[in-house]
Structure 1
Amino acid sequence: MAGRWIETWEPEDETFWREKGERVARRNLWFSVLSEHIGFSIWTLWSVMVLFMGPEYGIDPAGKFFLISTATLVGALVRVPYTFAVARFGGRNWTVFSAVSLLVPTLAAFWVMEPGTSYATFVAVAALTGIGGGNFASSMTNINAFFPLRRKGWALGLNAGGGNIGVPVVQLVGLLVIGTLGASHPRIVLGVYIPLIVLAAACAALYMDNLRPVKNDTGAAQEAVRDPHTWIMSVLYIGTFGSFIGYSFAFGLVLQTQFGRTPLQAASLTFVGPLLGSLIRPVGGRLADRYGGARITLATFAAMAAATGVVIQASGNASLPVFLTGFTALFVLTGLGNGSTYKMIPGIFHAKALARGLDAEAAAAHGRRLSGAAMGLIGAVGALGGLAINLAFRQSFQATGTGTAAFWSFLAFYGVCFTLTWVVYLRRPAPVATRAQLGYAEV
């Protein structure tokens, strides 16, 4: 693709930002959101398809959990190459390609989605949908380059939140089909998305831009891998985004398996949590801009632990209303945490650059350089948290017939995340050379 290339981009220059940069950045943001939104819908497609798979498909709950785990795994793995593709091919060009590529898993699912198809075929097609998970990494890396540090929390939160909404939207489409036509017409869901994929690709081609200054930096990638903060933030992102995507995939199956809900009943309940979690993600970014990402993240993990305790109690007592209340609260909190943790990433590397004595402009450039490299890795590891959640549910249901044991493991992990956030980013600020520099408490 020839593409449309912007040769100079200086978002930290307030004059440039006011006269030209903000308008261009916002335009790219909106169409990035559209493409990422469709990508999330395709990635989580099998959280809906399994609701259509009745006894005639011959697949037990453990087999269904493995299907959605396969999609989660592939989506996590492809995030790393998708991150570096933006600099290699251009943000606009890669968005077009990654959108068009979503036709492959969608058409494949349309072809095979019927009783009698082998389980191995379903696993292969579910794996293909994982490429939708890669769209997040390339989109976030691209948008990170467009916005100045002071706007990153809002921009990244809005970009990710708009993408995350693809999860409840595909579930709502599934609910509409099941509620009107029954659970024997999964191909209608797939048919809805084929023209939407084409629309997303066309809009990216017409309205997005490539940034020439954004280049793959092998040194930055190696430095990010060696930096302990990359791995600490990966763990925190497992707790926030890993929880969000893992719960989004598994929620409907949990309701069917543990609480005996019908496909229609499960579909009518599954979309609410992901929708609220997606809508509130920009709020998490905005709060992080104002109060510091570390503070918001710490409070989020404390609240997630409390909500998990409610879910454990409800699971043990088989109380569906309380279970739904606790689970919905978890979705909302993961959304807040997603926004605050992603705000922390560029802030951490910016703070480290200031602590090394770099001036404001050099520190901003260093922060963009390392945070862009780190985001793909952090996003990939975070998405693997979704795989861990689905596998934990699979094991819990196989061993005990309920998800209670899995929730206990999630509670313990949120305790680890709370402790990490406090010890590393809030117990004491990073050394700074001047009062103008950021401590980690403000990242």
Structure 2
Amino acid sequence: MTGDAFLAFLAEHWLSLVSVICLLLLSAFFSGSEAALTAASRARMHTLESNGDRRAGVVSRLIERRDRLVGTLLLGNNLVTILATSLATSLLISLVGSSAVAVATLGMTVLLVVFAEVLPKSWAIASPDRFALVVAPLVRPFVAIAGPVSALINTIVRRLLNLFGVNLSSDMPMLSAQEELRGAVDLLHREGSVIKADLDRLGGVLDLGELEVSDIMIHRTAMRAINADEPPELCVREILEAPFTRLPLWRGSTDNIIGVVHSKDLLRALAEPDVEPASLDIVKIAQKPWFVPDTTNLRDQLNAFLRRKLHLAIVVDEYGQVQGLVTLEDILEEIVGDIADEHDIDIQGVRQEADGSIVVDGSVPIRDLNRALDWSLPDEEATTVAGLVIHESKSIPEERQAFTFYGKRFIVMKRIKNRITKLRIRPAEDGTSIG
């Protein structure tokens, strides 16, 4: 074809050429809008809407029905793509003759993939929230018009899939909101946007509903309490010398908790005129004890602490036997990590050795060890490091016995009766599981 003939062709078919270009731009708009609106953050849109951004409200309403939104955008994209390809083919028939179909297919494929798919979607994914805010007002009227058609198509698709046993009617997500939030924050931590301390704190909040008070309580063997039958001056000395503000009070046996003594109540009582430690009745100043089941999850227990304005509860099992105690501080430490003050006794229970190994008290919680050393030892079946070794070995190990699991070598250093009190942990040298 000569140059004059080509110019004549352009003059005759300029409207069709402009239409093909406009249809390609529309296809790019639908593709970019689909990518941006499906990737937009609902939390971010909610925040912007609360701050008065009307466009964010439009985005939120559009993505509430993602199936309808995606179906409508795909419908529009397919319509303009098919129309653009048809127009291009009809133009090329008069230009190149019988090879028009092949030329149109190849040319439109390149144009659609590059300019109507990859380019707009890459742009949209690079900044989905900003892109979504821009296109949402333009997408909304199209969704309102074509939405019923998309809904009909979705209904047909669901009916067809039902014939093959696939049910899309359930609105239950594959992941819970907590799992989605945990996964998102973990991903941001890996990318460097969230520091480990913040990751641990958020993980602690999310884990409250999965942990029970028995997982974090101070066990009865380590629980510090006051014997009400001892001389009053001895009780006063023990309370004032204790590093704790509140102490359980028992009589007869440690299972018989009759109250909780607050050091401030003790000091107020001692400040009364003519009151001496020897004449003080500890039972009268003690508060009524609060007993909670050992199966109570930490979220409920935290809410109960806040509702009752108490800081300490006695943990009992299903038979009413005292298992230990739990405090508000214990639960808060699951969120923010160890809370130490000037009166705390510094017993970490974890010591780094010169050879790279870690010496750990058997009573150290697995969660605390994981946080401190960035490990991932499982804590579903056991709460403490000693409990993990017993669970994995299916026995009560002897001293100097060693086991390898979860990429670590556990060596029992000290055992008292049936309790493992000290272990050495070092990286496993081979892939053996237990030995």
Aligning the two structures, in what range does the TM-score lie when normalised by the shorter sequence?
Answer: under 0.3
More helix by share: 1
Question: Does 1 or 2 have the higher relative contact order (CA < 8 Å, sep 6+)?
Answer: 1
With the length of structure 2 as denominator, give the TM-score of the two structures. 0.24
With the length of structure 1 as denominator, give the TM-score of the two structures. 0.23
